Structure 1
């Protein structure tokens, strides 16, 4: 007699991990270059590219909000999943508590990012 399959929430976390990993691989180096090197050193872009009025206008548009939210949320979930599975490598046998801390912090960061972006207005 076959036993019924046990439901798992692992695919949800793996999907967020994979999406965050892809986004961080594709956009992470570009974001570091633009915000850390190109604009402060005046390379390729004008010095006022990241001025307050321009960035505010970007995050007040729904496309800008979506991009910023996706980057923050998916980077957080990717980091949470990687940290949770790296605990075993450093000798900590992660249980439910570690899972709650890692994924809970990612959830809190995602909610804070969403609330903050909505509070900025459109």
Structure 2
């Protein structure tokens, strides 16, 4: 008995969703704590998060890679979750919704890469 398997690109989107979910669980909570509580309450020095030091952080390859991973994977995670939640609110998630959701994430990825590469 021969089984015809249909090719799909869905695993790529599930990979981005899973990576974004893992990153948001591990790093997202700490980012919220740092920016919402630690710096405003004086637990961490505000100078460490000034514009000059954050701009300096983006001058290094690893800093750009970290910011790119955080922004892009959070974005793909959110878009994938929104796409699969459309059914729950009564919207048929057809090809138009798929192109809109994932197209938005792709444009966000390109915009993030462009912005980080433009930082000199």
Q: Which TM bucket (shorter chain)? A: over 0.9
* Structural mapping, 1:77-88, within 5 Å: 77-88=76-87
Note the residue ranges of structure 2 that are not aligned, 5 or more in a row.
Answer: none
- Alignment of structure 1 residues 19-98 onto 2, 5 Å: 19-43=19-43, 45-98=44-97
Return the TM-score normalized by structure 1: 0.94
Q: Which residue of 2 aligns with 1:18?
A: 18
RMSD of Structure 2 on Structure 1 (CA): 1.0
Measure, in 2, the Cα distance between the counterparts of 1:105 and 1:40: 33
Alpha-carbon distance between aligned partners in 1 of 2:86 and 2:79, rounded to the nearest angstrom: 11
Cross-structure match for 1:110:
109
CA shift at 1:41, angstroms? 1.9
Distance 2:40 2:103 in 1: 35
CA distance in structure 1 between the partners assigned to 2:85 and 2:37 by the alignment? 30
Separation in structure 1 between the aligned mates of residue 47 and residue 15 of structure 2, nearest angstrom: 37
Contact 1:81 1:103 in 2 (8 A): yes
Query: Is there any run of 5+ residues in structure 1 with no aligned partner, and where?
Result: none
Rounded to whole Å, the distance in 2 between the matches of 1:35 and 1:17 is 24
* Offset of residue 3 of structure 1: 4.6
